[in-house]
Structure 1
Amino acid sequence: MSVRKQTMSPFAKRQKWASLVSDVVAEWLDLPPEPRAISAVRGKLRVPFNGPLCAFESALERDFLTLCRTELRVQAVHSKQLVIHFTDTATGSRRRYTPDFVVEVVTGEGSAPERFVVEVKASQDLWRTRRERRQAYAAAAVWSLSQPSTTFVIASDKLLGSAWVTNARLLSSHMEMPRDLVIEELILSIVRSSAEIKLSELVDEVARWGYHRHFILPVIYFLLARGGLWFDRAIPITPSTWVSFGSPWRV
């Protein structure tokens, strides 16, 4: 495996960002705006699963929210409520930039949440608009550096095409569905008595109690989504997926 070389030190990056913009300030909108009609794919998702509705304006943004929705460490997602104002040092003009999302993530029990200022962008659009958008991204990076535990990131389709998102799409649809609580307790009892078990073997064990597979899998997916069962989210869910009891981020 080759190691990607750092082309610029973190200090040099900060220096470069600071040279592109000045007078960076931010405001917070009380209410999120409605999704704009700039894409055929737009709407709202409840993020986290028990949180408020969050707007998306593209398929990529929807995938990002789906990923956040099934990530137990995500405490809140705010859509287009942060507005960053800055001066473009090259032209002297005053500009504004609205990142797509601000995500609050808990990284440890009892710890304060970290914030991620997120721009969701397709790789080809990111490359095509790199010159006209670099001041805006620099402003977001400069502002984030001035805030405690805040980082500016760009989430491209390279990230959102991963197994994490494939799994999130599958599990998201089961997070709020009604399920059989008797089957749920049976599943948890079986997994609790094992160090780990393959998903196919778990289904077989529950089916031996007379339950149809059609009713078993949705309950397993619910428990995987909500943290009652743990699995490696970086690997696509298959019948060979290993599951174990509970998650440190169970909600």
Structure 2
Amino acid sequence: MARLASGAPVRTFRVKKRGVTGKVQLSEGGRLRSESTLERDLIITLDFHSDVRAVIEQPVRIDYEHEGQRRRFTPDVLAEFDAVGGHAPRIVLYEVKFHQELQERWGELRPRFKAATHYCRQRGWRFKLMTERQIRTPFLKNAQFLRGYLGIRDDPVTRGQLLYMFRALGPTTPQALLAAAYWDEQSQMKALPYLWQMVAERVVGVDLHQPLTMASTIWMD
């Protein structure tokens, strides 16, 4: 889960078209501010990715020149990903826009995106433009659902029972696991939040890029 990296936003927050300002609680503590529901959804997605180590809101201001005039561009979010195979941590600078807005304002927006791409290449980063088509996916819905179980009170007895049965069954489904672990429906329903907690913690694996249901295949991570 992501943590809040140090550093204040480089500009004052404002309300964008189609946007609402708000704060997103991160799993590891701290809050990030967002200027739109789409930016909020990107932060939730990044926070729930297991390989994202830090997230910063509006981290840099990019100065560039276009048509003889000095301009400024402040991308929305920066994410730092875990290092893989001895390489340095991967850093991605994100800008979010609704697809329709991109179509309507592409001529105006393109120079700032070009400047951001150049800025990132100079630093070994990556610039990524995201719309609702890349953000509002089954992964986001699963993240929104599972994040609520990260803070529930721990129950070692119930978790131990589920893990014991899991080892006996191997890959299974939430429905089958609960039915094998408990005879009565009331006990199954009481245990279900702790199963979702283990999924959210990545103790139990599942394909988070597919809709999460009681019939989803789950396995021990």
User: 1:30 — aligned with what?
Assistant: 7
User: 1:8 — aligned with what?
Assistant: none
User: 1:226 — aligned with what?
Assistant: 201
Coordinate RMSD, CA, aligned: 2.2
* TM-superposed deviation, 1:134: 0.7
1:66 aligns with 2:44: yes
Which structure is higher in helix share? 2
Shift of the 97–217 alpha-carbon distance from structure 1 to 2, 3 Å rule, reads same
> Which of 109, 125, 141 is equivalent to 1:133?
109
1:100 aligns with 2:76: yes
Listed as ranges, the gaps of 5+ residues in structure 2 are 1-5
- Equivalent-residue separation in structure 1 for 2:83 and 2:208 (angstroms): 17
- Equivalent-residue separation in structure 2 for 1:218 and 1:97 (angstroms): 43
Mapped contact 1:105–1:113 kept (Cα < 8 A): yes
TM-score (norm 2): 0.87
1:84 aligns with 2:62: yes
- Equivalent-residue separation in structure 1 for 2:93 and 2:139 (angstroms): 20
* TM-superposed deviation, 1:75: 0.4
Q: How does 1:120-159 map to 2 (within 5 A)?
A: 120-148=96-124, 150-159=125-134
1:187 aligns with 2:162: yes
* TM-superposed deviation, 1:51: 4.0
Mapped contact 1:42–1:57 kept (Cα < 8 A): yes
Mapped contact 1:174–1:222 kept (Cα < 8 A): yes
Mapped contact 2:139–2:209 kept (Cα < 8 A): yes
Q: Secondary structure at the match of 1:239?
A: coil
What percent of counterpart residues are identical? 24
Q: Secondary structure at the match of 2:61?
A: strand
* TM-superposed deviation, 1:211: 6.2
User: 1:214 — aligned with what?
Assistant: 189
Q: Secondary structure at the match of 1:41?
A: coil
TM-score (norm 1): 0.78
1:238 aligns with 2:213: yes
User: 2:3 — aligned with what?
Assistant: none
* TM-superposed deviation, 1:111: 4.3
User: 1:54 — aligned with what?
Assistant: 32
* TM-superposed deviation, 1:35: 4.3
Mapped contact 2:47–2:55 kept (Cα < 8 A): no
